């Protein structure tokens, strides 16, 4: 299995568009991996995760095959993960698609309703964009993958989920925009028959010691990793990757944080990063 991290930032991006903080100034000056767009990922070049406003930039920069992608998993409905206005660009005339099929979004209630509203607003046909409502804790199949959506600990209004994604004996846990998991999700993780191969954790606050619900820091990722090891959801062979960063985080600049995280056995994402496992 392969995952490409197309964008790795929280809502504001790094540097943030209207910000003059030290992190944003330094990241703009340093460039390279210190520049982060809004979070999005692509699995095996066919299964998209999230649809931010930066999707068009990712299409240009990384050659994302948008004309061939049929399915997108949505973690939640916040603007930096679901930008519905761009769905209008898939209508006939705005796009000339040789192979006709709908781009289908798999989402919990909030994202599902926003997509349906966008379809009505822009008169988007069912064979152009489709929406499927997720059922939590129940495996379903998409593009040959077995996927399970678990409840995330984030803004409840956005009906957030994290995803277990399995194919050919490999399992990825894509876990953004969440703090420590709700009990119902922990109970499901305890039932896994084998340890996960790759766990992608939210680390929005980097080295901050924040304790609010919705995101994680390095300190809390260390503790969460131990919990996942204790319940058998991970083992010594599991790859742990930190993702989804805010300019409000402490030591969050890639050049700084990658060294700090490495001391604790974590890899750190950057835009365009490809991981095969």
**Domain range for 143:** 2-276
Indicate the number of domains in the chain: 1
**Of 91-105, 195-209, 243-257, where does mean pLDDT reach its minimum?**
91-105
For the stretch 107-137, pLDDT in tens is 999 999 999 999 999 999 999 999 999 999 9
**Of 21-25, 94-98, 262-266, where does mean pLDDT reach its minimum?**
94-98
| pLDDT band at residue 210 under the 50/70/90 scheme | confident
Q: Which residues contact 196 (CB under 8 A, 6 or more apart)?
A: 164, 171, 172, 173, 228, 233, 234, 238
Q: Which residues contact 114 (CB under 8 A, 6 or more apart)?
A: 77, 82, 84
Task: Write down the pLDDT at residue 44.
Answer: 98
| pLDDT band at residue 212 under the 50/70/90 scheme | confident
Q: Is residue 99 predicted with pLDDT exceeding 90?
A: no
CATH number at 25 reads 3.60.15.10
Task: Write down the pLDDT at residue 68.
Answer: 94
Its pTM stands at 0.97
Mean pLDDT of the chain: 97
Mean pLDDT, residues 58-75: 97
């Amino acid at each position: 299995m392969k995952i490409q991290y197309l964008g790795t930032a929280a809502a504001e991006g790094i540097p943030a568009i209207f910000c003059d903080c030290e992190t944003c100034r330094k990241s703009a000056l340093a460039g390279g991996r210190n520049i982060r767009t809004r979070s999005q990922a692509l699995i095996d070049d066919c299964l998209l995760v999230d649809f931010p406003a930066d999707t068009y930039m990712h299409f240009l920069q990384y050659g994302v095959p948008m004309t061939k992608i049929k399915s997108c998993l949505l973690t939640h409905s916040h603007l930096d993960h679901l930008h519905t206005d761009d769905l209008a660009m898939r209508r006939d005339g705005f796009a000339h698609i040789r192979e006709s099929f709908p781009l289908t979004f798999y989402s919990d209630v909030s994202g599902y309703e926003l997509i349906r509203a966008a379809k009505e607003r822009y008169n988007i046909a069912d064979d152009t964009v489709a929406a499927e409502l997720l059922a939590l804790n129940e495996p379903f199949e998409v593009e040959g993958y077995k996927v399970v959506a678990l409840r995330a600990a984030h803004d409840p209004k956005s009906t957030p989920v994290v995803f277990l994604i399995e194919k050919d004996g490999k399992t990825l846990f894509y876990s953004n925009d969440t703090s420590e998991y709700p009990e119902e999700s922990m109970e499901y993780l305890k039932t896994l028959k084998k340890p996960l191969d790759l766990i992608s954790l939210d680390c929005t606050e980097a080295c901050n010691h924040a304790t609010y619900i919705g995101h994680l820091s390095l300190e809390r990722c260390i503790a969460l990793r131990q919990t996942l090891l204790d319940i058998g959801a991970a083992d010594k062979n599991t790859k742990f990757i930190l993702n989804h960063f805010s300019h409000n985080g402490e030591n969050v600049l890639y050049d700084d944080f990658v060294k700090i995280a490495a001391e604790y056995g974590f890899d750190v994402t950057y835009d365009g990063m490809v991981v095969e496992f």
